[in-house]
Structure 1
Amino acid sequence: MPRTGLRISGGDAVVEYDITGTGPGLVLVHGTGAGREQWLPLTEAVADRFTVVAPDCSGSGGTTDHGGPVTLADLADEVLAAANDAGLDTFHLVGHSLGAAIATHLAGTHPGRVRSLVLHAGWAHTDTRLDAEFRYWLELLSADAAHGTSLFARMLPLTAFGPGYWARTDAAANEELVQGLTGMLAPGTARQTETDRTVDLRPLLGRITAPTLVLASAHDRIIAPEQQQALLAGIPKARYAEIDAGHGAPAEDPAGFAARITAFLDEQPTTPAETVTVH
């Protein structure tokens, strides 16, 4: 698996990432508690025409670091390091939740590198209400670590999935999902949640030059609509779309989620100089 090292604010990090496909660069950034595997359905849908780079951020998967607090800038630097190591000069950029915040930061600080931007379930800044959400997550994670419970995983379907999930599931299937989520959560979920609490992207929004899709979930119980509207108002070339799902649309409706993003990516122009082939 490709890896690349860099210096972040607390020490050294080694970022592990997947690289798949051929064509213009496409970088995918996962959400809190997830990892690069989150992007497999989208990668499969576009690898015939994009070079897809999907890194693990600090706290997830095969990426290693100093083990302390990480900033949003640190995580953006990790994503950029993976893109650089993969040989991508410019690239399309997609982020989900925390990944959307990371992608927004990267696009605002390195606008010349980002050809287009998709932000799903992103937010402009962590206000009092959102901080209360993240503090609750931290309390659940702390209780789980202390007592071997699955409180955080049990909360996730309630807050992250929309009515479509509940209409097609039953108690046994939901319980199976909870147990699966318990085993899948990244070991650094609490560290990433602490980073969630620090987000304030408002000074960077106007610096983003890439065409941007602000993709909201119609049934998002975590990110308020006002946060999506702030992104839309602050990013100069932004447009809005919704998917009929909850905050966790990549897991709730992976095919529909991939289709929305693929349609936007396929609208973007390609030049031969920006094509990369992976062997």
Structure 2
Amino acid sequence: MPSVAAVRTPREPLVTGSGPALVLAHGAGSDLDDSFGPVIDRLARAHRVIGADYPGSGANPRAPLTLDGLADHVVAAADAAGADRFALLGFSMGTAVAVRAATRHPDRVTALVLSAGLAHPDARLRLAVDVWRALADRPRTLAAYLTLVVNSPDWVASRPPAALAAQLTSFAATAPPGVDDQLALLRDVDVRADLPSITAPTLVVAARADVLVRPAHSARLAAGIPGATLVTLDCGHAIAAEDPDGWATAVTRFLAGLGGPAQG
């Protein structure tokens, strides 16, 4: 997926744009650039966008992972940027990270946007994760598998051969060193008990053609969080690649409509 325009040195947290603070939590087996891609620049037009790759992603060394630890990790990125209060945008497994951050730091999280995410994997998602992990030593086959599950069927079918070949090459070459640790955490993540205690205004964004984390997971998130709003985009799991404008618009409109005290 495309890289963002903001330049970062390895392991340096992302801080770009201006306005109310918006902290990012990326997906498993990914990093900020891969999960959010061109959406970062779009969001930075109205927000100061902040984030840090997880341990084992980007240039960061591997480290033992827990959901609480990742939640505190994204909050630490806000601390480093001087943001006392902020909205949180989570993608895929990052939605569970964002939920846990909101329950651990409720006085700091002003809003949640949970995109293509989940509270707990079902049997189908666990099988998909198991295949992903099993193909780790077969990068080209893994790249083909990931293309089939992170992109919508129509998007893959419509890609020019050269573009699809470039994506397969990119996927085969860029697996983060901590991918297995992150996938192991995703396989067992469970924030269902956290959902009723969420007090921050919440937008849940489902991807209609998501065959990895199916829209039913987003529906369950929205049903479990008091007052949550659910919207659906016509794309696959890789929202940043398939509908960056729609995603950025949904996020910025929701946050702009909240009003209230400024985030810093």
Structure 1 range deviating more: 45-54 or 74-83: 45-54
Kindly report which structure 2 residues correspond to 1:262-273, keeping only aligned pairs within 5 A, or say none: 262-272=252-262
Q: Which amino acid aligns with 1:26?
A: L
Q: Which amino acid aligns with 2:74?
A: V
Structure with bigger gyration radius: 1
The whole-number CA distance in structure 1 between the counterparts of 2:95 and 2:13 is 17
1:132 alignment partner in structure 2: 127
Kindly report which structure 2 residues correspond to 1:1-279, keeping only aligned pairs within 5 A, or say none: 16-38=12-34, 39-64=36-61, 67-141=62-136, 143-144=137-138, 149-272=139-262, 274-275=263-264
The whole-number CA distance in structure 2 between the counterparts of 1:43 and 1:128 is 32
Look up the SS of the partner of 1:23 in the other structure.
Answer: coil
| Paired residues of 2:100 and 2:194 also in contact (CA < 8 A) | yes
* % identical aligned pairs: 38
Look up the SS of the partner of 2:17 in the other structure.
Answer: strand
Q: Which amino acid aligns with 2:158?
A: R
Which runs of 5 or more structure 2 residues have no equivalent in the other structure?
1-6
| Paired residues of 2:114 and 2:204 also in contact (CA < 8 A) | yes
Report how many aligned residue pairs link the two structures: 257
**What are the Cα deviations for residues 116-142 of structure 1, in whole angstroms up to 9, with x where unaligned?**
11111111112333222211111011x
Q: Which amino acid aligns with 2:105?
A: H
| Paired residues of 1:92 and 1:116 also in contact (CA < 8 A) | yes
Q: Which amino acid aligns with 2:26?
A: H
Structure 1 residue 167, shift from structure 2 partner: 4.6
The whole-number CA distance in structure 2 between the counterparts of 1:175 and 1:40 is 19
The whole-number CA distance in structure 2 between the counterparts of 1:113 and 1:194 is 29
Distance 1:68 1:53, change over 3 A: closer
**Root mean square deviation of aligned Cα:** 2.1
Which runs of 5 or more structure 1 residues have no equivalent in the other structure?
4-13
Distance 1:138 1:245, change over 3 A: same
Q: Which has the higher strand share?
A: 1
